[in-house]
Amino acid sequence: MKAFFANLIAPFAPADGPPPQTLGAFLRWALAGSGRVVAITALFGLALGISEAVAAWLVGHIVDLAVAQGGEAFFARNAGLLLGAGAFFVLLRPMLVTLTSALNSLSVGPNATTLAMARLNRHTMGQSLRFFENDFAGRIAQKQMQTVSAIGSILSEIVNSLAFAFSVLMGSLLVLIQVSPRLGLVLAGWFAIYVLYVRYFLPKVRQRSRARAGARAALSGQLVDVLSNMATVRLFATGASEERAAERAMGTLRDKSMDFGAISVAFRGGLSLLGGLLPVALIGCSVWFWQSGEATPGDIAIAGLLSTRLGQMSGWISFVAMGIFANIGEIENGMNTLAPAHDLPDRDGAVPPGPVAGEIAFHDVSFGYGRPDGGGLDGLDLHIAAGQKVGLVGRSGAGKSTALSLLLRLYDVEGGRITLDGKDIRDLTQDGLRGAIAMVRQDTAMFNRSAFDNISYGIANADPAAVERAARRAQAHDFIVGLSDPAGRTGYQAHLGERGVRLSGGQRQRIAIARAFLKDAPVLMLDEATSALDSETEAAVQSALEDLMQGRTVVAVAHRLSTLAHMDRIVVMENGRIVESGHHAELLDLPGGTYAAFWHRQSGGFITTEA
């Protein structure tokens, strides 16, 4: 049974396009493909609700027959009715409850939420680097979880609680109209007042829930930011000030929660009053009609059963409705964060690059991070032949790392174009472009996964022997075999901790170099790959890098000029432009040259012209 219900909805089906920006369309986008099962579940909920009214009618009918026929005659004449009623209560209603529960708990609940989460996560993963730079990673993750949780809650309440309550109400109304039209009018009048009351309050609930969700997300971002930078907090002794900042965010969340709580109290208190009025009105009217001979004892029983049931449900439904509108506020807040369209998509018709020789060219490239004073590049023209090794040198802010980011298409150029083997990189798929480039950075990204998984990251079903060969070439094998973690895993299976915290800087760099060896891309980019290392560790890492550079097009950024002295060409940049270009010895011979000045400062005044 579990497998049958679990497979009614495909939980990882892709979405049709990006998420819409309006609530209803967004929910349809998130849940598309689950509609048939949701509708069936809602129908079972309706049937279960109707069974409540049928149960009350059966009880009232049996009471009237018992009063009219007496004890012995009643059982003799109504054996079939009693057996049917017993089957209804013992077989049919439990079967409806079981099937409805199975659809909700095994199909709609787990699958629909997984479907929405997969689609939201897929859309978020496709955002540009700028999207993640402008927000907190923890806040984005929390928004995904909150939004999906809210979608699941709304769906469950609509197909289960609201469908059930609606059918109970409609069934009760039909039964009462059949029993006594005037009792039906009493119930209809009460329901009209109930609807007006709910329509007044629920928009306020929605608004305050949205404000509470925003405050909760802000607090989450604040806490994640501090916890992610705890070493800095300790070094600068700012624990007290960070606590105060967190408490201010907590205070804002507390205030918004109290605003939500106040509207909740008023809403539920009024509905409780309405729920109490219903049995008083229906039972009182049915007794009055009975006294005047216009109703039977069975009618009083029906009115009593239905009114008390509906009165109890009114409080329950008020809680459900408030939860639905509170969750709508959560979803709307999440949409603001998660639903923006991708700002760096692949062009229509983009193709993978195919075999790459590694020729790179910047043609009059300009980029300023979207700001007039954003720095970056200003008309950069640079040609790098396939297999050539080029070093980029310049002061901080000269545009070196920006050039690497643009070549990887982490951002799009604002002017000019960049080509790989003569093809505009915007005409290539981003995954295909980045698959042709290996990158080693100063701040090497490590996952809290095994050393094996970190080296083979991006390589599906990597060969363990190939991973070990890459580690040996990167001079990482010896320290990897000595690794262990608190879970008892050792060697290549030992986890490295968050951001590789269990490794030294040099060890992280050698893991990154091993990753690049295994990727074996035709283009290699190095961004300050050795600048944070001590001299001994740098020598080991530099040796591994020199091995890695063989046979590849290399673009290397470094402030430590000794690491670039043997490059085929060195390009000196200032203010996003090239001011000098040549071999190490040629640049040292330039009178008043920028590179020569850099070298002089780093070598303590000693300048050599040896290549």
Q: Express each pLDDT in 502-545 by its tens digit.
A: 888 888 888 988 998 999 999 999 888 776 566 766 777 778 88
The helix or strand, by DSSP H or E, that contains position 326, with its residue range, turns out to be: helix 297-338
Give the residue ranges of DSSP H helices in 15-108: 23-31, 35-69, 71-77, 79-87, 93-102
What pLDDT sits at residue 609? 44
| Domain 356-436+523-530+551-611 CATH superfamily | P-loop containing nucleotide triphosphate hydrolases (3.40.50.300)
In the chain, domain spans: 11-338, 356-436+523-530+551-611, 444-520
- The set of residues, in sequence order, having a beta carbon less than 8 Å from that of 7 and lying 6+ positions away, is none
Whether the per-residue pLDDT at 375 is higher than 80: the answer is no
How does strand 523-527 pair with strand 437-441? parallel
Q: Are domains 356-436+523-530+551-611 and 444-520 of this chain identical in fold?
A: yes
CA dihedral 197→198→200→206, nearest 10 degrees, is 160
Residue 341 DSSP class: P
pTM score above 0.85 = no
Indicate the CATH number of 444-520 among 2.40.30.40, 3.30.70.2200, 3.40.50.300, 1.20.1090.10. 3.40.50.300
Which candidate, 343, 138, 347, places its Cα nearest to that of 249? 138
Q: Tell me which range, 276-280, 336-340, 436-440, is most confidently predicted by mean pLDDT.
A: 436-440
Average pLDDT, the chain: 84
**Considering only the top CATH level, what class is 11-338?**
mainly alpha
What pLDDT sits at residue 309? 66
Whether the per-residue pLDDT at 162 is higher than 80: the answer is no
SS3 582: strand
